[in-house]
Chains A and B, each alone.
Chain A
Amino acid sequence: MVQYPYEGQGFKDWSGALEKYSDSFLIDLFYKMLRIRLIEEEIENRYFDDLMKTPIHLVIGQEATAVGACAALSTSDLLYSGHRTHGAYLGKGGDLKKMLSEMHCKANGCAGSRGGSMHLIDPDVGMAWSSAIVGGAIPIATGAALASQYKSDQNVTMVFFGDGGTEEGVCSESLNFASLKQLPIIFFCENNFYSVQSPLRTRQSQRDIFRWAEGHGINSSVVDGTNVLEVYEATKSAVEKIRDGGGPHFIEAKVYRFRAHGGAGDDSQTGYREVEEREMWERHCPVESYYSFLDQNNLGIKSQRPELQKQIEQEIRDCFEHALKSPEPKKADLFKYVYAD
């Protein structure tokens, strides 16, 4: 039985809204989602070469959240994430070379091979931090928002976490504190209905996550996380209100991961969820449904796609090559940065 069917409306009512966006903006969203998809697929293809000795948590199926939400942020805004980092890092503009070097355990990885795939950071573009502990980044992001408020630096902080993350005590603690202090932060929950192989129904009572968030006195909403424009609009509206001095926002996006919780390939056939359920969501793939939408609205995407794809594939090949030939860290590196100077 399909436990968590897709219940969104896709792009049904969106054609009329198109005129407020420039063509380049619309195409750029597609380009960014396609890029993440192709990067993830290549990581997956190469995973069993065992040269990336790191756990991976692919975001295939969840590209629209990272891309749509990050499109509403500026570079100096801060992004935090949980273990499922790839989309957040790339969506915020993180350096692909540094990411792949990190995954190949190389000295020039974004964290010098001390973080691994669950700890991708790139301070230059505001990809501030991530934690491999579920919920761990949520209070840290809240602290960053406190610092922004204290310094009046106008930055908005956003933190990505899963439905599982909302079950951790620190999530409630952080929502309460952010609400209390009216901090400039967006709590962004990617609800993909599963924590590893545990469905929501064995973990939470029947409730809407965003309603639960609302109970903390936070402005909360829910969006179709397969629709990049809907994600963008919800985030943009939150960002604008925050920049106008409004307090924290909570956005729940309903999404689906097309692969297993971790590693390469899907594991639906093990029985914790129906293959049919995944296939249903795949018919609402964030990349392809947006592509069809652009195509139907005559944005010339069909003629551009092959070139975009070629360009991305070349970039990916180059970055993998760069990672593979990059140097490994040395023994002396191990002992650095235990304490800060």
Chain B
Amino acid sequence: MPWDESLVNSLVYDEPDPKQGRVLSYVQSLNEALRIALEDNESVIVMGQGVDDPSAMFGSTKGLQDRFGESRVFDTPLSEEGMMGVCTGAAMRGLRPVYMHNRPDFILLAFNQLITHAAKCHFMDNGLTQVPLVVWAAIGRGWGSGAQHSQAIQGLLMGVPGLKILMPSTPYDAKGLMLQAIQDNSPTIIFEHRWLMKKNGFVPEGKYLVPIGQGVCRREGEDLTIVGASHAIELAYQASKLLAADGVDVEIIDLRSIQPIDDQLIEDSIRKTGRLLVVDTGWAIGGVCAEIGFRAVEKWFSYLKGAVRRVGLPDVPTPAGYALEQHYYPTAQNIVDVVKDMCRK
């Protein structure tokens, strides 16, 4: 059992009403997506360290090897760069590998194959080859994950041309984006968040796709726009409830895909509210916050009533200990404070 299971089990989310639709947990929804993809297309293979073990990648790959066999769902050596290259080569030859990692930290070992090979093959080959693969990992947080098991590295990858980067926040999107990513012909990375794994939500049966590059408005509001993705949306949502009690009405834009980014959705919202706060699970410097903030200044400056602000991680590696962690990760209250400050001006 993963070491942080009890922590993840203890998290509380709004519960969907089962009378209004089928409810699945985030992990169940991922499992269903992988099952459908494997059924749907013979070219799909799923690999990663421990995908066939009892923990089954937090449960997301549970039962898949039994059902589809060892040639389609298999454990790998601890060779992140090598296996990334294997996926790339297999993808160029017509397979659709899904390569799963427990944590994004392990993808750092594969950067040469991911960034300098997979992301560039199609371009370098003048379109002669394609690299339809999915790299998947769940960002860790808490229970001593610390500096080497909690890195949210999306910001490092956003600037690499040729990659698509997805960060779902709901079970519905987790399934629809996984299915879309597997179908996409470019290398696509999915960063999940460990804290969302037990969150429940409505998930339709069967196959459906969530388009890449399209965000969604999670909450309409008039006073200020909060833009983010993944678990940062959960925080923004909690903050919005606190703010509503104080008469502040925020709009929440869930990007779902941080590369490419749904500019139109952000623009329409800022045009209405005139204020922008960007939230992210990663470092505030040089990542999602920095990029969206800069776009706002560059493209939508005339709609802005005040400075763009951001709530991300401080410019510090993650501490392992519980007490230090409380000072490290932003909270819903942090978001509330920043929003109130912005709206005062």
The proximity string for A residues 127-138 relative to B, scoring 1 for CB distances below 8 Å and 0 otherwise, is 011010100101
B334 part of interface (Cβ distance < 8 Å): no
How far, in whole Å, are A174 and B77 apart by their CA atoms in the complex? 10
Point out the residues of chain A lying under 8 angstroms from B82, CB to CB: 139, 142, 169-170, 172-174, 176-177
Q: How far is the CA of A151 from the CA of B94 in the complex (A)?
A: 9
**Residues of B contacting A141 in the complex (Cβ-Cβ under 8 angstroms):** 89
Say whether A337 contacts B85, CB under 8 Å.
no
**1/0 per residue B110-127: CB within 8 Å of A?**
001100110001111111
CB distance from B165 to the nearest CB of A (A): 12
**Interface members, chain B 50-90 (any A CB < 8 Å):** 71, 76-77, 79, 81-90
Closest residue of chain B to A131, judged by CB? B117
Other-chain residue from B85, B94, B185 in contact with A340 (beta carbon distance below 8 A)? B185
Max chain A Cβ within 10 angstroms of own Cβ: one of B82, B116, B129, B186 = B82
Whether A140 pairs with B125 at a CB distance below 8 angstroms is no
The answer to whether A180 has its CB under 8 Å from any CB of chain B is: yes
For A330-341 the 0/1 string (1 means CB < 8 A from B) is: 000000111111
Query: Taking CB as reference atom, which chain B residue is nearest A169?
Result: B81
- Chain A residues packing against B (C-beta within 8 Å): 78, 80, 111-112, 114-115, 119, 121, 123, 128-129, 131, 133, 136, 138-148, 150-151, 169-170, 172-174, 176-177, 180, 336-341
Q: Does B131 contact A (CB under 8 A)?
A: yes
With a cutoff of 8 Å between Cβ atoms, the chain A residues found around residue B125 in the complex are 111, 114-115, 119, 121, 129, 337
In the complex, per-residue mask of B123-141: 1 if CB is within 8 Å of any chain A CB, else 0: 1111111111000000000
Residues of chain B with a CB closer than 8 A to A139's CB: 81-86, 88-89, 113
A-binding residues in B (CB < 8 A) = 45, 71, 76-77, 79, 81-95, 112-113, 116-117, 121-132, 161-162, 164, 185-186
Shortest CB distance A269–B (Å): 34
Which chain A residue has the least Cβ–Cβ distance from B86?
A143
Q: Which residues of A contact B86 (CB under 8 A)?
A: 139-140, 142-143, 146, 174, 177
Pairs A–B under 8 Å by Cβ, sample size 12: A111-B125, A114-B125, A121-B129, A129-B121, A142-B82, A143-B87, A146-B89, A172-B82, A173-B81, A177-B82, A338-B161, A339-B122
| Bound form: Cα–Cα A129–B81 in Å | 18
Do B83 and A146 touch across chains, with their CB atoms under 8 A apart? Answer: no
Residue of B83, B94, B128 touching A177 (CB-CB under 8 A):
B83
Bound-complex Cα distance A173 to B79 (A)? 6
Whether A121 pairs with B93 at a CB distance below 8 angstroms is no
- Which residues on the B side are within 8 Å of A123 (C-beta)? 128-129
Chain A residues in 8 Å Cβ range of B121: 129
Q: Does the CB pair A150–B185 fall under 8 Å?
A: no
Given known pairs A123-B128, A337-B127, A339-B186, the reply for A147 and B116 (CB within 8 Å) is no
List the A residue with the shortest CB-CB distance to B94: A147
The reply to whether A133 and B117 form a contact with Cβ atoms under 8 Å apart is: yes
Assess the B92–A338 pair: CB atoms within 8 A.
Answer: no
Q: Is the CB of B77 within 8 A of A140?
A: no
